[in-house]
Amino acid sequence: MAGFSFAVEARDGRARAGRLTTPHGEVETPVFMPVGTAGAVKAVLHRDLREIGARVLLANTYHLMLRPGDALVAGLGGLHSFTGWDGPFLTDSGGYQVFSLAALRELDEEGVRFQSHLDGSPHLLSPERSMEVQQNLGADIVMAFDECPPGDAPREVVAEATARTTRWARRSRDAHRRGDQWLFGIVQGGVHLDLREASARELLDVGFPGYAIGGLSVGEPKAGRDRVLDHLDPVLPAEQPRYLMGVGTPEDVIDAVARGVDMFDCVLPTRNARNGQLFTSRGRLSIRNARHRDDPRPPDPGCPCPTCRTASRAYLRHLHQANEMTAATLMTVHNLFFYLDMMGAMRQSIRLCRFEEWRGETLRRLAASEQDGS
């Protein structure tokens, strides 16, 4: 499609460094995408996101469908015009809410009937409706509608969800009309390698320009996730982008890059920041800890982010204890910078053929660090 391309420009083992081109700009991979569920990353201005190196944002189909409504967003020019973010957007399909809002929905072959968590009103989200919403939102990259089963679901439940995901992927492809969007298929199958491979091969037959790997941040063991990624690496096309949905900790992201993944999103850095937990080069730091009450040091002395350049641990703890909204802003900026800077370091190490050395050093440092990063 016009305006889109993806190229793997360097490899070190299975780790890949590449370039994803969209109508709203280029993105170097591997890339971390901050989560902006309602069209905004909580507590952070677009100006700050650009300053710390964010290039692509994720928005949520289900939530924007309910509020303010996808037709309203379309009438105001789509997500880019509506939000003022001029870089690429990616929207999920609403499939994750099949898992996360299980108590508020009924599922059949047509789609998923949700009871709105806002006002209880009924809504049908089907492959066709998901495509309609995502086309109205106007993101650069959109997702096929899928069924995401829980990590501990019985095999027969996972098998049924995987087969339905393929059928819904075909319906999503047939319903998608916009030539200025890339539609990705989503591989499901839990931790069952045969189901994962079958899902991937069936989606390859349907045909998509990129492939997401879903259902690997829903309670499954990390060892199972790693086995799935190892198994899918030779199955998924080497020349197309791979997106691991909803994962995860810095260690998880590093290990997934080592297994050939290009794109990531997760609420962890933003949610943890709002709860007073910071990621640092020496481990996680809880700003609530009393030891930081009069600590003049920045959260991470070696970090050049705007927060570490201007705010002490004592000040951040005071703001957090006072429920001052500025605390969420300052700590979210830091945590997102940590992730984005880590991705940049990974990209450089891959291009220099030093990825495994960098990976080993980084994982050892994180594993050996104290829990509170002091």
**pLDDT tens digit string along 291-348?**
999 999 999 999 999 999 999 999 999 999 999 999 999 999 999 999 999 999 999 9
Could you tell me if 257 and 108 lie in one domain?
yes
Nearest to 342 by CA among 240, 239, 268, 245: 268
Q: What CATH number is associated with residue 142?
A: 3.20.20.105
What is residue 101's predicted lDDT score, i.e. its pLDDT? 80
What is residue 200's predicted lDDT score, i.e. its pLDDT? 98
What is residue 96's predicted lDDT score, i.e. its pLDDT? 86
Residue 320 lies in a domain: yes
Could you tell me if 245 and 140 lie in one domain?
yes
Could you tell me if 234 and 353 lie in one domain?
no
Could you tell me if 190 and 236 lie in one domain?
yes
Counted domains in the chain: 2
CA distances from 260 to 50, 255, 339 (A): 26, 9, 18
What is residue 366's predicted lDDT score, i.e. its pLDDT? 87
Could you tell me if 57 and 99 lie in one domain?
yes
What is residue 93's predicted lDDT score, i.e. its pLDDT? 95
What is residue 103's predicted lDDT score, i.e. its pLDDT? 82
Cα of 366 vs its chain's centroid, Å: 22
Domain boundary pick from 206, 236, 266: 266
Residue range(s) defining the domain that contains residue 203: 5-266
Domain boundary pick from 201, 234, 266: 266
Could you tell me if 82 and 137 lie in one domain?
yes
Answering whether pTM is above 0.85, one says yes
Assess whether 265 carries a catalytic annotation: yes
Could you tell me if 116 and 259 lie in one domain?
yes
Q: Which of 92, 146, 300, 372 is catalytic?
A: 92
Residue 374 lies in a domain: no
Question: Per residue of the chain (374 residues), what is the pLDDT tens digit?
Answer: 679 999 999 999 999 999 999 999 999 999 999 999 999 999 999 999 999 999 999 999 999 999 999 999 999 999 999 999 999 999 999 988 877 888 888 999 999 998 898 999 999 999 999 999 999 999 999 999 999 999 999 999 999 999 999 999 999 999 999 999 999 999 999 999 999 999 999 999 999 999 999 999 998 999 999 999 999 999 999 999 999 999 999 999 999 999 999 999 999 999 999 999 999 998 899 999 999 999 999 999 999 999 999 999 999 999 999 999 999 999 999 999 999 999 999 999 999 999 999 999 999 988 866 455 55
Residue 172 lies in a domain: yes
Residue 78 lies in a domain: yes
Could you tell me if 317 and 246 lie in one domain?
no
Could you tell me if 250 and 286 lie in one domain?
no
Residue 373 lies in a domain: no
Residue 87 lies in a domain: yes
Q: Which of 48, 70, 252, 265 is catalytic?
A: 265
